[in-house]
Structure 1
């Protein structure tokens, strides 16, 4: 969707009763697989050289760590129905996180990413129920620093590029939260198809490391040839950053590798002799229709050779363009000695 689509379809919160929420959760069951038949990249060739038609061969891997929300009053585990009722009392249906401002809901944060041209997001409706979102796709175009967006600090507000939204602007803290809260759409049964745009800048702000920690892929989902051959080869050809995950992010950007992520609420005892804690838990899996030929040694050799040729061309071009001092030098001579007849 474009920013104008959000303006036309923005929620009318004044028509809602905030105290009346519906049960937005389906039964956990077996986490039924979702269809990704429409999840092909809008720009053919960036994700795969073939038309993408995903299958469900890969399994989800649940990450072993949690995102803590708060400590509950439950001394022991509860049933799924009890958990659903508790969550419906704690959270507003479109703000599934702790907040004191329900107008800054999931749509608001999603709009920040779209309006700032940081992400392209598409929600795919369930074929049997047009009012139900089946799954969503997100292409991360860039992860901007506060300077990139024109902020001088984290708490000043800037207006949206496309005016008309029910909230006129956002802060850089809102922008940071947008990368997290946007993905907190319906737990248990909703999932995201995520990828980076091919030319996404690799200068990633440090707060994005936490996003990758929760939403990013883990080693267990990679096919063995990619984990044992392609990734090590890529890392040998590129300067190694001080933060190892930056190398993994760059690998996904350059090789156009997508993945699938979902999340759910969970109760667990994080501290001994304490009540149960409400947490969010994340699951990721490989997208089976990714063309692994893009990560072959031959393909990557060509990729790095082409990049080096481009870099040499840029260097040669920059040397052929006079600098400001070089452009000023003839002018200084003319001013000093006069123009030649």
Structure 2
């Protein structure tokens, strides 16, 4: 089985954090997101994986090179962004064509990726994994197939719309709608395929864990949900999980208090009397005594000497 991870995005909604770290390497419970995605692909039986890069590409390349993956890994560099469709086209070429699983590099899910791959129908140009996730619901379905993408229901749509999970299986026929070497949008390609009478299968899932990590709020929500034990299928990728989660070498001084949803990276120091709630602190950061943080993300090595709420501290 073959797979692609779309990891070239700029991560603009997470600025200024993503000035330092590409979105796909953001730590999730102190583990780089891309490493979690690749570990899940290894466990699902995928043998060949391609990853596209653009923003801070050297960090992604170094991360991939520094670890002994059992996967046959390839990198698809994009000096100029090719968009969701153009990037997917180049990844498919590197993988030797479809079918291949394609996964957005800014989501975390416990979906059985191997089972998703096996459900792809050969008569479909792609199979999209969909779920009910307002306010992102804009994919219309009828009889197990996608019939439209957009705000308004197309003729023949049955029931309310669903949301794309960021997981799909791309068949060889989809390449016809992704022009080689040109920036293009995946949604536009889907619409062109539908207009040409192609089948886009709809794989509807329920009862799973899924979380986007593309905004500060979503990133913090992911940590809160994981710390609350909402994704037991993913627990083995993190080791023992407690709230607060304190990585090795962390120092918590007397009187520091935590209000839930707190994750502390390696060698973090929390000063006496500090108070943290729904906050993620990356490795090597220092929170000075008496500081109160709520709904904050603290970048690696930063020293925080003031109270803050809803901020990214870099």
Tell me if both proteins adopt one fold, taking TM over 0.5 as the criterion. no
**Structure 1-normalised TM-score?**
0.24
More strand by share: 2
- Higher-RCO chain (CA-CA 8 Å, sequence separation at least 6): 1
